[in-house]
Amino acid sequence: MTPEEKDLINQIRSEDMELKSREKALKRLGEILEESYILDLLPSQAVIQALEKIASSKTAPSSLRRKAKVLIQAYKI
């Protein structure tokens, strides 16, 4: 996991941040996964695991959970 990915995951998990900021971080994480897919690289398992935790979290907003599930379905191998 790169430092940028780690920072984005921390932003998404942070309950102190506004929902828009968290959604923006999730969108950027999706862009990183897309770039990896285009370059035919395997996605980081740490990122996929973090997305799975967000998707199954009871405390995360439903919009974040839904978007995390979409990313998992698109990029999980």
pLDDT > 80? residue 50: yes
Give mean pLDDT, residues 46-58. 92
pLDDT > 90? residue 77: no
Query: pLDDT tens digits, residue range 17-42?
Result: 899 999 999 999 999 999 999 999 88
pLDDT score at 55: 93
Q: pTM of this prediction?
A: 0.87
First to last CA, the chain: 16
Query: pLDDT tens digits, residue range 56-69?
Result: 999 889 999 999 99
What is the token pair recorded at 56? 């199954």
> Alpha carbon of 41 to those of 22, 33, 58: distances in Å?
25, 9, 31
